Structure 1
Amino acid sequence: MFGNIVFENPQFFWLFLLLPLVIVWYFWKWNKQQAALKISSIKGFKVSSSWLIKLKPLLIVMRLLALSLIIIALARPRTVDVSTRTKTTKGIDIVMTIDVSGSMLSKDLKPNRLEALKEVAAEFVQGRPNDRIGLVLYAGESYTKTPITSDKSIVLSALKDIQYNGVLEGGTAIGMGLATSVNRLKDSKAKSKVIILLTDGSNNAGFIDPTIASELALEYGIKTYTIGLGTNGIAIGPVDIARDGSFIYGRTKVEIDEELLKEIAKVTKGKYFRATNNKKLEQIYEEINKLEKTDIEEFKFYNYEEKYRILVLLAGLLLLIEFLLKTTIFRSFI
């Protein structure tokens, strides 16, 4: 009954400092009321001790308990039940546009660029519970892996399944990837439409110019964050394919068209980032997560249940019992 108690007027607890003074006053009054008779000897008197005399201090204890209960009642104890309801007032639609060309298997990020991206992207998706997210993959061409959806389990499963399998034509068609992403978002009614485009190379394939694709994004009010993935200089990456179909790795030059990525971000009012290692890639997604905030309205409902009434009743009962005892059983003693 008294779990999760809060006190509306805790300042009344200062009254407990007066109780020691009340106790001292009661004992002083008690001693003043006791009559004393001096005789030379009590021989010849039958000495007996009445249990009523021993119980007389009980009246003082009851009154002090009643005063304590009244002080607690004045502090107004009550329980509060808080229920919360959240409402997403305006959502964000996000398309993650991922380069899946062979160079994404380079090992300058651990275990490689593609696996590092999948891990960080999955954390990003889990941190956006109120938004819709879709996936677009591209190499020499592009396609929609997952349409924008609020079902994060679908997006996470699709992310996990991303592999380099050579199905897409070789090359890096940044313009194609961006255009496909714009197509997924152009009819969205969301408050904010965002593309996160990641690549580790330069535009060398596809029939859509990245500049045209970025102008389309601007026309539809789609902001684009671009990420250049790869260390500076030389990386260990696939340079050939063995007879058994496995990759042969060697030292390759990292060539990212940063000027193009910066221009795409600038035109669409986004931002360009460079991820040279796993930690930097994680920090970039964390920053994008902070930049794109969903408006969430929270409603809290408070249900108070007052508990002072029972304390007042107990105090009144104690005072009533004390009064009855004082006017009946202890009447001849007090």
Structure 2
Amino acid sequence: MFHTASSWFLLLLLLVPALGWLLFRSRTTAIAFSSTENLRKLPTTWKQRLRWLPPAMLLAAIMLMIVALARPQEGRKQTISESEGIAIELLVDRSGSMQAMDFKIEGEHVDRLTAIKNVAGQFVNGGDKLDGRTSDLVGLITFAGQADGVTPPTLDHAFLVGQLNQSEIVTQQSEDGTAIGDAIGLAVEKLTSLENSETRNIKSKVAILLTDGENNAGDVDPIQAAELAATLGVKIYTIGVGTNGQAPVPVVDPFTGRKVVRWMEVKIDEQTLTKVAEVTGGKYFRATDTESLQNIYQEIDKLEKSRLEEKQYVDYREWAIEPVHVAGFALPPLALLALLLLVARELLINTTFRQLG
């Protein structure tokens, strides 16, 4: 490519054919000689064969100078990506009440945790109506009677979703419960610890809490944990999962040993979940089926967008004054080549091809 403001110099190349005709036209000289027959029989010398060389060198030098004036350039584009991602902690309830089978996936009844795994996986990796959180750090905390940090905020989303899919509903009574406050406190700790990291420019810190119950375990009150989160700049979105009142729950019949579905009383503390969200500047959602859960994640996906900016720079190499790279070889700049041709021509016409007046 050529520099736009100088490319018009290429029009001078239209004069090259005329200049070539002037340089290479035959010149006849009249001499007084009785006969030239014997001269024709003389062998042609190498000087005679190469007599075209000096004018060709002059013509080539002129062409190179014209091209150099047009400023040929080689552009090397560089792209620098700058992103401000979001650090997200997923807080997933795996208490015994998550066994309630009031959700459906492809027409089949599934428990609440299975539905969460399905939709949360799409939220992280993308799928269906969700774009995925490609540039965001995402961590996972599960809780029942106590909160467990399963995966710290990471960009390895495949590993995180794998860990999420391996999470199971607690079966031991001693492990059961719903420690919402402890889960929030642990999420705040994990997210604020990223402030000392230099590997990522964190735009905001977000926790998404999913539960189907009320805080009945752990040492931290959910509202106090939310107030701490607000102080440290962590926003919490809370999702109440499942129906309120009665829900179908699979239980083992003590007489037959078989699993049967029974309607059991369940209760979601919507007041506390709403307060937790409001204190931190988040929002409370209610998910009663898989579709509403997908819609909730889709809304959160829109509310919490990462900023990705690309800046492109073009580094130009001026062939007129910088080496020209062709097929892996570096040639001298065009201006220098033209000068070398002119110097070589002058040497030739004043030595080997010197002509007597």
TM range, smaller chain: 0.5 to 0.7
Q: Does the Cα contact within 8 Å between 1:171 and 1:205 map onto a contact in 2?
A: no
TM-score of the pair, normalised by structure 1:
0.63
Give identity over the alignment, percent. 27
Q: How far does the alpha carbon of each residue in 1:117-168 deviate from its partner, in whole angstroms, 9 at most, with x for none?
A: 4523653897356x5x5433234x3312337466858756643431224246
Q: How far does the alpha carbon of each residue in 1:286-319 deviate from its partner, in whole angstroms, 9 at most, with x for none?
A: 435516x69x999x9x898942754333222222
Partner AA of 2:27 in structure 1: Q
Q: Does the Cα contact within 8 Å between 2:143 and 2:183 map onto a contact in 1?
A: no
For residue 100 of structure 1, report the CA deviation from its aligned partner: 1.8
Counterpart for residue 324 of structure 1: 347
Counterpart for residue 185 of structure 2: 182
1:222 matched to 2:234? The reply is yes
For residue 224 of structure 1, report the CA deviation from its aligned partner: 0.6
The CA distance in 1 between the partners of 2:222 and 2:342, in whole Å, is 88
Counterpart for residue 27 of structure 1: 21
- Tell me: CA distance 1:264–1:12, structure 2 relative to 1, closer, same or farther (3 Å): same
Q: How does 1:249-328 map to 2 (within 5 A)?
A: 261-273=273-285, 276-277=290-291, 280=295, 283-284=298-299, 286-287=301-302, 289-290=304-305, 306-307=322-323, 310-328=333-351
Counterpart for residue 104 of structure 2: 108
Q: Does the Cα contact within 8 Å between 1:95 and 1:181 map onto a contact in 2?
A: no
The CA distance in 1 between the partners of 2:279 and 2:295, in whole Å, is 24
The CA distance in 2 between the partners of 1:136 and 1:21, in whole Å, is 77
Q: How does 1:163-174 map to 2 (within 5 A)?
A: 163-167=168-172, 173=178
- Tell me: CA distance 1:151–1:34, structure 2 relative to 1, closer, same or farther (3 Å): closer
Q: Does the Cα contact within 8 Å between 1:121 and 1:285 map onto a contact in 2?
A: no
Partner AA of 2:342 in structure 1: L
Q: Does the Cα contact within 8 Å between 2:170 and 2:176 map onto a contact in 1?
A: no
The CA distance in 1 between the partners of 2:234 and 2:227, in whole Å, is 10
2:62 corresponds to which of 49, 67, 78: 67
TM-score of the pair, normalised by structure 2:
0.60
Partner of 1:312: helix, strand, or coil?
helix
Aligned length: 310
The CA distance in 1 between the partners of 2:302 and 2:21, in whole Å, is 71
Partner AA of 1:62 in structure 2: M
Partner AA of 2:339 in structure 1: G
1:138 corresponds to which of 115, 134, 143: 143
Partner of 2:104: helix, strand, or coil?
coil
Q: How does 1:3-42 map to 2 (within 5 A)?
A: 9=3, 11-28=5-22, 30-31=24-25, 34-35=27-28
Counterpart for residue 3 of structure 1: none
Q: How far does the alpha carbon of each residue in 1:216-267 deviate from its partner, in whole angstroms, 9 at most, with x for none?
A: 43344431122355699x99x6443467988556899998776654443222
Partner of 2:118: helix, strand, or coil?
helix
Q: Does the Cα contact within 8 Å between 1:82 and 1:303 map onto a contact in 2?
A: no
Q: How far does the alpha carbon of each residue in 1:199-229 deviate from its partner, in whole angstroms, 9 at most, with x for none?
A: 3x34374477654543443344431122355
Partner of 1:35: helix, strand, or coil?
coil
Partner of 2:20: helix, strand, or coil?
helix
Structure 1, unaligned runs of 5 or more? 1-5
Partner of 1:226: helix, strand, or coil?
strand
- Tell me: CA distance 1:24–1:304, structure 2 relative to 1, closer, same or farther (3 Å): closer
Counterpart for residue 134 of structure 2: 127
1:159 matched to 2:164? The reply is yes
For residue 320 of structure 1, report the CA deviation from its aligned partner: 2.0
